[in-house]
C-alpha cells in the first residue's frame, strides 16, 4: 500500500487480465531468491515508475480459490521519487480508505480491505 496525504493508491487491472477491470493494490510476485522488500521495490518501479521509502510490514493475507491458494505479504510505504503512472494498469487512483468499498477488488483482497476499514474506524 502506497500512502500519501491520508490516501492510498489503487490500480485497475487491464480488462484482458484475470479479474479484468478489478482494482488492486500495486505489487507483484517475488522472483526466485528475491527478498520481499526487493520484490516490492522492483514491482512498483515496473508498474508505476516510482521509488519507495519507509517500507513497513503490514502482515500476511491468504485466500483459497476453488483451484488453489494465494498468499501474499502486505507492506505500507511512501513515495521517495517519481509520480505514479499506470505503466501496467488501465488506471490508478488515490483514494481514502473509507472509499475502498466503492471499488470492485478480487476476492483475495477482501480480508485486507476489511482490516484497513476496521483500523480506520478505530483511529
**pLDDT of amino acid 68:** 83
> pLDDT in tens for each of the 123 residues of the chain?
999 998 999 999 999 998 999 999 999 888 999 999 999 999 999 999 999 998 999 988 888 888 888 888 999 999 999 999 999 999 999 999 999 999 999 988 888 999 999 887 775
Write the DSSP assignment of 9-52 as a string of letters: EEEEPPTTSTTTT-EE-S--PPPTT--HHHHHHHHHHHHHS-EE
Q: What is the pTM of this model?
A: 0.91
**pLDDT of amino acid 13:** 95
Domains of the chain: 3-122 (3.90.79.10)
**pLDDT of amino acid 85:** 97
**pLDDT of amino acid 71:** 82
Residue 89 vs residues 12, 32, 65: alpha-carbon distances, Å: 6, 24, 23
Helices H, strands E: what count in the chain?
A: 2, 6
**pLDDT of amino acid 123:** 59
Amino acid at each position: 500500500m502506497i500512502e500519501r496525504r491520508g490516501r492510498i493508491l489503487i490500480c485497475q487491472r487491464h480488462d484482458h487480465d484475470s479479474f479484468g477491470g478489478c482494482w488492486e493494490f500495486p505489487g507483484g510476485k517475488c522472483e526466485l531468491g528475491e527478498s520481499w522488500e526487493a520484490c516490492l521495490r522492483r514491482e512498483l518501479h515496473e508498474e508505476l515508475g516510482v521509488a519507495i521509502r519507509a517500507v513497513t510490514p503490514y502482515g500476511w493475507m491468504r485466500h483459497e480459490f476453488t483451484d488453489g491458494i494465494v498468499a501474499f505479504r502486505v507492506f505500507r510505504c511512501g513515495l521517495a521519487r517519481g509520480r505514479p503512472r499506470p505503466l501496467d494498469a488501465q488506471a490508478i487512483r488515490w483514494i481514502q480508505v473509507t472509499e475502498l468499498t466503492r471499488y470492485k477488488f478480487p476476492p483475495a483482497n477482501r480480508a485486507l480491505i476489511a482490516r484497513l476499514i476496521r483500523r480506520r474506524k478505530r483511529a
